[in-house]
Chain A
Amino acid sequence: MASRARPLNLPATALAALLLALVAAPLAAVALRGAGLSFGSADWAAVRFTLLQATLSALLSTLLAIPVARALARRRFPGRGALIVLMGAPFLLPAVVAVLGLLAIFGRTGLLNAGLQTLGLPAISIYGLQGVLLAHVFLNLPLAVRMILQGWLTIPAERIRLAQSLGFGPAEISHHLERPMLREVLPGVALVILIICLTSFAVVLTLGGGPRATTIELAIYQAVRFDFDLSRAAGLAGLQVAICAVAALAAWAIVRPAAFGAGLDRATALPAPGGWRCGADALALSAATLFLLLPLLAVVLRGLPGLTDLPASVLPAAGRSILVALASATLATVAALTLALAAAARPSALVEGAATLPLATSGLVLGTGLFLIVQPFTPPMTVALPVTILVNTALTLPYLYRILLPETRALQVDYGRLADSLSMSGWPRLRWLVLPRLARPIGFGAGVAAALSMGDLGVITLFAGERQATLPLVVQQLTGAYRIEAAASAALILVTLSFALFWACDAGGRRAAA
Chain B
Amino acid sequence: MKTTLLAAGLATIALPALAETLVLTVLTYDSFTSEWGPGPAVEAAFEATCACDLQFVPAGDGAALLARIQLEGAASEADIVLGLDTSLTAAAAATGLFAPHGITATTALPVAFEDPLFLPFDWGWFAFVHDRTRLAEAPKSFEALAASDLKIVIQDPRSSTPGLGLLLWVKAAYGDRAAEVWAALADNIVTVTPGWSEAYGLFLEGEADMVLSYTTSPAYHLIVESDDNKAAALFDEGQYLQIEVAGKLAATDQPALADQFLAFMLTDAFQAAIPQTNWMYPAVTPAAGLPEGFDTFRPAKSLLLSPEEAQAVRDVALAEWQAALAR
Spell out A's residues near B (CB within 8 Å).
Answer: 33, 42, 96, 99-100, 103-104, 107-109, 127, 201-202, 205-212, 214, 218, 221-222, 224-226, 228, 311, 313, 368, 371-372, 375-376, 379, 381, 461-462, 464-466, 469, 473, 476-484, 487
Closest 7 pairs between A and B when the two form their complex, measured CB to CB: A481-B36, A479-B197, A109-B206, A477-B34, A222-B158, A480-B31, A210-B325
Of B71, B186, B204, most buried by chain A (CB within 10 Å of CB) is B71
A221 touches which of B39, B72, B75, B158 (Cβ 8 Å): B158
Q: Taking A221-B159, A228-B91 as given, write out 10 further A-B residue pairs in contact, using a Cβ cutoff of 8 Å, ordered by the A residue number.
A: A108-B208, A210-B325, A212-B326, A224-B67, A226-B157, A226-B159, A368-B71, A480-B195, A481-B31, A484-B201
- Residues of chain A with a CB closer than 8 A to B198's CB: 96, 99, 202, 206, 479
Is B220 part of the contact surface with A, judged by Cβ < 8 Å? yes
- Residues of chain A with a CB closer than 8 A to B39's CB: 466
Contact B325 A211, beta carbon cutoff 8 Å:
yes
B191 touches which of A109, A209, A313, A479 (Cβ 8 Å): A209
- Residues of chain A with a CB closer than 8 A to B158's CB: 218, 221-222, 225-226
Contact A228 B66, beta carbon cutoff 8 Å:
yes
Instruction: Provide the main secondary structure of the chain A interface.
Output: helix
A-B contacts, 18 of them at CB < 8 A, read A103-B202, A103-B205, A107-B205, A107-B206, A206-B191, A206-B193, A210-B191, A210-B325, A225-B67, A228-B66, A228-B67, A368-B67, A375-B72, A461-B30, A462-B68, A477-B36, A478-B36, A479-B201
- Residues of chain B with a CB closer than 8 A to A372's CB: 71
- Residues of chain B with a CB closer than 8 A to A464's CB: 58
Is B169 part of the contact surface with A, judged by Cβ < 8 Å? no
B71 touches which of A210, A313, A371, A473 (Cβ 8 Å): A371
> Digit string of B55-68 for contact with A (CB within 8 Å is 1, else 0)?
11111100110111
A376 touches which of B75, B189, B221, B318 (Cβ 8 Å): B75
Is B279 part of the contact surface with A, judged by Cβ < 8 Å? yes
Of A104, A127, A482, most buried by chain B (CB within 10 Å of CB) is A482
- Residues of chain B with a CB closer than 8 A to A375's CB: 71-72, 75
Of B57, B70, B197, B200, most buried by chain A (CB within 10 Å of CB) is B197
- Residues of chain B with a CB closer than 8 A to A478's CB: 36
Residues 289-327 of B contacting A (Cβ, < 8 Å): 318, 321-322, 325-326
Q: Whose C-beta in chain A lies nearest to the C-beta of B29?
A: A480
Q: Whose C-beta in chain A lies nearest to the C-beta of B60?
A: A461
A127 touches which of B36, B37, B191 (Cβ 8 Å): B191
Is B35 part of the contact surface with A, judged by Cβ < 8 Å? yes
B82 to chain A, nearest CB (A): 14
Could you tell me the distance between the alpha carbons of A483 and B60 in the complex, rounded to whole angstroms?
Answer: 18
Chain B contact residue count (CB 8 A cutoff): 60
**CB within 8 Å for A108 and B31 given contacts A202-B198, A210-B192:** no
- Residues of chain B with a CB closer than 8 A to A127's CB: 190-191
Could you tell me the distance between the alpha carbons of A222 and B66 in the complex, rounded to whole angstroms?
Answer: 13
Is B259 part of the contact surface with A, judged by Cβ < 8 Å? no
- Residues of chain A with a CB closer than 8 A to B63's CB: 225-226
Is B224 part of the contact surface with A, judged by Cβ < 8 Å? yes
Could you tell me the distance between the alpha carbons of A33 and B217 in the complex, rounded to whole angstroms?
Answer: 39
Residues 11-39 of B contacting A (Cβ, < 8 Å): 30-31, 33-37, 39
Could you tell me the distance between the alpha carbons of A194 and B124 in the complex, rounded to whole angstroms?
Answer: 43
A488 to chain B, nearest CB (A): 9
Of A33, A222, A226, A479, most buried by chain B (CB within 10 Å of CB) is A226
Could you tell me the distance between the alpha carbons of A469 and B31 in the complex, rounded to whole angstroms?
Answer: 12
Could you tell me the distance between the alpha carbons of A222 and B67 in the complex, rounded to whole angstroms?
Answer: 11
Q: Whose C-beta in chain A lies nearest to the C-beta of B95?
A: A228
Contact A466 B57, beta carbon cutoff 8 Å:
yes
Is B151 part of the contact surface with A, judged by Cβ < 8 Å? yes
Could you tell me the distance between the alpha carbons of A218 and B160 in the complex, rounded to whole angstroms?
Answer: 12
A397 to chain B, nearest CB (A): 26
- Residues of chain B with a CB closer than 8 A to A210's CB: 186, 189, 191-192, 325-326
A244 to chain B, nearest CB (A): 22
- Residues of chain B with a CB closer than 8 A to A107's CB: 205-207
Could you tell me the distance between the alpha carbons of A206 and B326 in the complex, rounded to whole angstroms?
Answer: 15
Could you tell me the distance between the alpha carbons of A209 and B64 in the complex, rounded to whole angstroms?
Answer: 23
Contact B321 A211, beta carbon cutoff 8 Å:
yes
Is B102 part of the contact surface with A, judged by Cβ < 8 Å? no
- Residues of chain B with a CB closer than 8 A to A212's CB: 325-326
Contact A476 B201, beta carbon cutoff 8 Å:
no
Could you tell me the distance between the alpha carbons of A368 and B64 in the complex, rounded to whole angstroms?
Answer: 11
Could you tell me the distance between the alpha carbons of A379 and B68 in the complex, rounded to whole angstroms?
Answer: 13
Contact B193 A205, beta carbon cutoff 8 Å:
yes
Contact B159 A225, beta carbon cutoff 8 Å:
yes
- Residues of chain B with a CB closer than 8 A to A202's CB: 194, 198
Is B196 part of the contact surface with A, judged by Cβ < 8 Å? yes
**CB within 8 Å for A205 and B67 given contacts A313-B35, A479-B201:** no
Q: Whose C-beta in chain A lies nearest to the C-beta of B195?
A: A480
- Residues of chain A with a CB closer than 8 A to B55's CB: 466
Q: Whose C-beta in chain A lies nearest to the C-beta of B164?
A: A226
A201 to chain B, nearest CB (A): 7
Could you tell me the distance between the alpha carbons of A425 and B67 in the complex, rounded to whole angstroms?
Answer: 52
> Digit string of B180-192 for contact with A (CB within 8 Å is 1, else 0)?
0000001001111
B33 touches which of A206, A209, A466 (Cβ 8 Å): A466
Could you tell me the distance between the alpha carbons of A431 and B29 in the complex, rounded to whole angstroms?
Answer: 50
Q: Whose C-beta in chain B lies nearest to the C-beta of A483?
A: B36
- Residues of chain B with a CB closer than 8 A to A218's CB: 156, 158-159
B59 to chain A, nearest CB (A): 7
